[in-house]
Amino acid sequence: MGSQGYFKVLIIFVIAFIGSTQAELQLGFYAKSCPKAEQIIWKYVVEHIHNVPSLAAALIRLHFHDCFVNGCDASVLINSTKNNQAEKDAIPNLTLRGFGFIETVKSLVEAECPGVVSCADVLALSARDSIHAIGGPYWNVPTGRRDGLISKAADALRGLPAPFHNLTTQLSIYGNVGLDANDLVLLSGAHTIGVAHCSTIATRLYNFTGKGDTDPTLDSEYATNLKTLKCKNINDKTTLIEMDPGSRNTFDLGYYKQVVKRRGLFQSDAALLTSPITRAIISRQLQSTQGFFLEFAKSMEKMGRINVKIGTEGEIRKHCALVNA
């Protein structure tokens, strides 16, 4: 290679290096461009979460659905149009909540600094703040995410784990977004808060193999209770059940305690017992709430970095439900 060749290689490395350093979120990305943004979000979340603590579950789930489909780019918030069925209208959405809250938070931040703070960051920060405000873990949310332009229902179907997925399938879906078995077990710990619809476990309770049977991996006493007290028939689409009964608004070890008693609500929860590796990760969490919080924080920060758009990619949406005109 002549000196010109070396020069070209050098240029390529320099460009790649600049590219890679810019391809980073950073803590306090808005410190100069909108210094009050994070404080406005935290204040609003703290002031309102005590009226609706169940919102914390809604917001962290929204953030999760956002990140797993097209990266954390607020594509989950976009409304469908005549010509496009958006992520939020895909089956796994069914029960997503919290859209209005995010739109309100965004409008407060817009009033302070128009066109500066992305919906993806508003969602990531609101999710973190709401969990922290109900006494859950705190994690770093480096910012600088940009909002995506595309939201397709079909992508949500492909990218999201389903409650009937076994461990192999879940690991492969997580693997597709750069997350591992540890992240899977830790992030599933978010099921310590929130609720699910009976329809999600109807088959598990009433027609597991198509013979009117119940999933034998579900604790039989618990299954009977669910059937007699909560989900009274296979067609119940409206009744809500707590995933961690008795502490649906408390972020604690309750989920893992349920799972090891074979009382995890979904097959995907029960699946975490099917390998010694994931079982060991659960046992480790059960030793200390503080340890769980620290590990959960790490996995959340990792999740928040999935395929983010930065720099000049995407846009800063004005309304989270609408791509800018």
Ligand X SMILES: *[C@@H]1O[C@H](CO)[C@@H](O)[C@H](O)[C@H]1NC(C)=O
- Give the whole-angstrom CA distance, residue 32 versus residue 306: 25
Question: What does 91 interact with, of ligand HEM, ligand X, none (CB < 5 to 8 A by kind)?
Answer: ligand X
Q: What angle do CA 219, 221, 224 make, to 5 degrees?
A: 110
Which of 77, 88, 58, 85 lies closest to 147 in space, CA to CA?
77
**Residue whose pair of structure tokens reads 């169940």 in the numeric block:** 54
The nearer residue to ligand HEM, 56 or 119, going by C-beta atoms, is 56
> How far is it, in rounded angstroms, from Cα 276 to Cα 246?
29
| CA–CA distance, 67 with 46 (Å, rounded to integer) | 24
Which of ligand HEM, ligand X, none binds 196 (CB below 5-8 Å, type-dependent)? ligand HEM
Least distance to ligand HEM from the beta carbon of 161, Å?
4
The reply to whether 161 sits in an annotated binding site is yes
Residue nearest to ligand HEM (CB): 194
Provide the 3-class DSSP secondary structure of residue 120: helix
Under the binding rule (CB under 6 A), the answer on residue 124 touching ligand HEM is no
Beta-strand ranges (E) seen in 217-313 are: 240-242
- Amino acid identity, position 300: M
Distance in Å, CB of 297 to ligand HEM, minimum = 11
Of 61, 204, 302, 317, the one binding ligand HEM (CB under 6 A) is: 61
Closer of 146 and 302 to ligand HEM (Cβ): 302
For 233, residues 6+ apart whose C-beta sits below 8 A from its C-beta are 206
Nearer to ligand HEM, 29 or 64 (CB): 64
75 is in an annotated binding site: yes
Nearer to ligand HEM, 34 or 60 (CB): 60
Residue 48 appears among annotated catalytic residues = no
Please check whether residue 289 is in contact with residue 53, taking contact to mean a CB–CB distance below 8 angstroms.
no
Smallest CA-to-CA distance from 55 within 155, 117, 151, 127 is with: 127
Active-site residue, from 48, 50, 63, 65 = 65
Tell whether residue 213 is among the known ligand binding residues.
Answer: no
Among 91, 154, 229, 280, contact with ligand X (rule: CB under 6 A):
91
- Is residue 268 within the footprint of ligand HEM (CB under 6 A)? yes
Catalytic residues: 65
| Contacting positions for ligand X (CB under 6 A) | 79, 88-91, 93-94, 96, 166, 168-169, 207, 210, 234, 319, 321-322
